[in-house]
Amino acid sequence: MAFYGDTDALETQEWQDAFDSVIEHMGSERAAFLLQMLYQRAIAKHLPIQRLNTPYLNTISVDEQPAMPGDQDMERRIRALIRWNALAMVLRANKTGDDLGGHLASFASSATLYDVGFNHFFRATSDSFGGDLIYYQGHSAPGIYARSFLEGRLTEEQLINFRREVG
């Protein structure tokens, strides 16, 4: 929407002066409230008005961004091992013919997100913090199990019994 000129400069100036007066005498909160009400009224009247928000723009310039912590090459290699182990676990489960399988694409498409979360964001229980509670999509379980195996949290026997009801 473009405005090609002010057809009534005096009226425009009166609106601007009135707005400045509201800010001066009633404060910025009142001025913001009035603008919001006018915006909502314009929408209700189906006026061709521009949105008040702008598209997302990263507000941190590249030169101001901190370096990613950790060793990116090492983390990439670990991610590859996790993906390989998830694949091997699902293929092994499929050999039994029990239709146990898994959804490799669900994990593969989100592996980097999980990895960054595990390595840099998710927090364990401590004396001062109850720990993060994270719910994973069930289809991504092979990758979570594979990571747990590589970290020594699951045994090979537990992996063999993946998605089986065993005692």
State the pLDDT confidence band at 1, using cuts at 50, 70 and 90.
Answer: very low
State the average pLDDT over residues 34-42: 92
Q: 111: Cβ–Cβ under 8 A, 6 or more apart, which residues? A: 79, 82, 83, 143
Spatial separation of the C-alpha atoms in residues 44 and 81, rounded to whole Å: 56
Over range 49-54, report the average pLDDT.
Answer: 71
82-103 pLDDT tens trace: 999 888 888 877 777 666 666 7
Determine the pLDDT at residue 3. 57
User: Please, what is the average pLDDT of the chain?
Assistant: 85
Q: Find how far residue 132's CA is from the centre of its chain.
A: 16
Residue type, 166: V
What would you report as the CA-atom Rg of the chain, rounded to the nearest whole angstrom?
A: 28
For residue range 109-118, what is the model confidence (pLDDT) as tens digits? 888 899 999 9
> Mean per-residue pLDDT for 135-157?
88
Of 133, 98, 136, nearest to 115 by C-alpha is 136
Rounded-to-integer distance, Cα 46 and Cα 48, Å: 6
Tokens of 88: 């091997």
